[in-house]
Amino acid sequence: MKYSLRHAKQQNIANETYGYVGDLGFKASVPATPILVRSRRLHAERNRRRTPPPHPVGPPGPGVPHHFVVKVHSRCNLACHYCYVYRSPDTSWRTRPRALSSPVTHHLSRRLVEHGERHRLSDIAVTLHGGEPLLVGHRRLDAIAGTLRRAFHRSPTALHLSVQTNGVLLDTAFLEILARHRVAVGVSLDGDAEAHDRYRRHASGRGSHRQVGEALALLNRPRFRGLYGGLLCRVDLANDPVRTYEALRAHAPPMVDFLLPHATWDRPPPGTSPARAPYADWLIEAFDHWHARAQRPRVRTFDSLVRLVQGEASLTEDLGEPPSPVLVVETDGAIELHDSLKIAYEGAGATGLNVSEHGFDRVRPTGDSPCSTCVDCPLFGVCGGGMRAHRHRADSGFANPSVYCRDLQKLIRHVDRRVGSNSTPARPTEH
């Protein structure tokens, strides 16, 4: 039997911040393992529990979006070498307004409230994004967050607001605004100065690590510590994984997430070859170092893997069977699919819809289900086929395993061997 959670009801936890050809030599038919046994038990138990909830609001049903990424600014003040927005086949950012306007903000707020009430959602998560969202300025950010908060004032659906920033512009004035509107703050940081400044630079070539460090020092002040959502770190094979993890931990984040470089079969990730799994090796070294310590920050990727191999739900849409799509609203109000699809081809995420005229229910499923190679794999319930964008290949679309298939399999099997059915949860670091 294969390991599959396709029909298991999963739900991302709000504010936990916010795609193969050829034989890889893996066999779909394998003996039962602890992973498979736990999967069967969970699947049977969840099938027995499929009864309508008695409460007026609750988690989203299958396929109902409840996490929205809102582009409040379409430009950036850094020129990161690996950026998926400005260095991808999709160049739609060039034709969009720089900032989210007041009319679009009001349309968006109305659509979000309608969506929550129509589906009786207990929560909706909105991540303010970019470009660099803080380029919108203090007054405009205050207005956008305030409009969203006021719209949900009488709604039975709770609004969870967050912002994902590169940290360069994050100052006390921004933090006061974010505190007033209860906006969690996620910051991008790739490790120590050497690691971070290799790619996360200004257009002049000057690194941004010092500025980000200063912003994190502000965020760690007692007055603002409650806003601290966590750190996002892109995996770079040139950086030592343990040194990178410790550099992140030094900033006392409540949560860390390691992101694989966005890549497709036509534009493969750096350092890969058919016989190697270098990203698995990197993440395994980081995982072992992290897991050996009782007091540690949460690492969303690792926590999700531990949960999944134990038959529980993932904390990220990148692993396991995603409970619902993440939708993006651009600065002109356009509704799009997951932002990572920009790496596939021009318009890959476009829906033709806009919040000024359409509700979110008009977004239709893509029909790009994982291919049979993925669905027949015993580890499918853990990896979920990987991110949809990472499956893309020009001649076969998204009907392929992930370009990271070998890495995902090696990493999953390692985590299962390490934690099995028993694992000590991370204890947050005391501050």
Q: Which residues pair with 158 in a beta bridge?
A: 123
How crowded is residue 384: how many other Cβ atoms within 10 Å of its Cβ?
25
Give the tens place of pLDDT for each residue, 403-420. 999 999 999 999 999 997
Position 431 in a domain: no
pLDDT of 185 reads 99
Position 6 in a domain: no
Question: Any idea what DSSP says for residue 278?
Answer: H
Mean pLDDT, residues 111-115: 98
Position 426 in a domain: no
pLDDT of 421 reads 53
Q: Which helix (H) or strand (E) holds 164?
A: strand 158-165
pLDDT of 422 reads 54
pLDDT of 58 reads 56
Q: 257 pLDDT exceeds 90? A: yes
pLDDT of 5 reads 32
Domain count, the chain: 1
How crowded is residue 431: how many other Cβ atoms within 10 Å of its Cβ?
9
How crowded is residue 375: how many other Cβ atoms within 10 Å of its Cβ?
14
Better-predicted residue by pLDDT, 421 or 275: 275
Q: 47 pLDDT exceeds 80? A: no
Mean pLDDT, residues 40-52: 40
Closest residue by Cα to residue 300 from 377, 389, 308: 308
Q: Which helix (H) or strand (E) holds 376?
A: none
Give the tens place of pLDDT for each residue, 290-302. 999 988 999 999 9
CATH number, position 406: 3.20.20.70
Asked whether the beta carbons of 153 and 98 are under 8 A apart, the reply is: no
Asked whether the beta carbons of 331 and 98 are under 8 A apart, the reply is: yes
Give the tens place of pLDDT for each residue, 367-381. 678 899 999 999 998
pLDDT of 61 reads 58
Position 1 in a domain: no
Domain that includes residue 82, residue range: 62-419
Give the tens place of pLDDT for each residue, 86-97. 888 999 999 999
pLDDT of 312 reads 85
Give the tens place of pLDDT for each residue, 121-143. 999 999 999 999 999 999 999 99
Position 127 in a domain: yes
Position 298 in a domain: yes
Query: 213 is written with which tokens?
Result: 């460090």
Give Cα separations from 20 to 27, 108, 126 (angstroms): 15, 37, 33
What proportion of the chain, given as a percentage, has pLDDT over 70? 82
Q: 60 pLDDT exceeds 80? A: no
DSSP string, 256-277: EEEEPPP--SSSPPTT--TT--
Average pLDDT, whole number, for the chain?
85
